[in-house]
Structure 1
Amino acid sequence: MTLLAKPHWLELKLPPVLLVVIAAGLIVISPAFSYFESVNQARQMSSWMPLTATGLMALGIIVAITGVYQFRQYQTTVNPVNPHHASSLVTTGIYRFSRNPMYLGMLIALLGWSAWWQQPFGLIITQLFNLYMSRFQIIPEERALQGQFGLQFDEYCQQTRRWL
Structure 2
Amino acid sequence: MTSWLLLGATEGGLFDLDATLPLMAVQVVLLTFILNALFFRPVGRVVEEREGYITTSRAEAKQKLAQVERLEADLAAQLKEARLATQKLIQDAEQDCDRLYREALAAATADANASREQARREIDAERESAFKQLQGDAEKLGDLIVDRLLAAK
Give TM-score scaled by structure 2 length: 0.25
Q: If you compute each CA radius of gyration, which structure gives the higher value, 1 or 2?
A: 2
Q: Which has the higher helix share?
A: 2
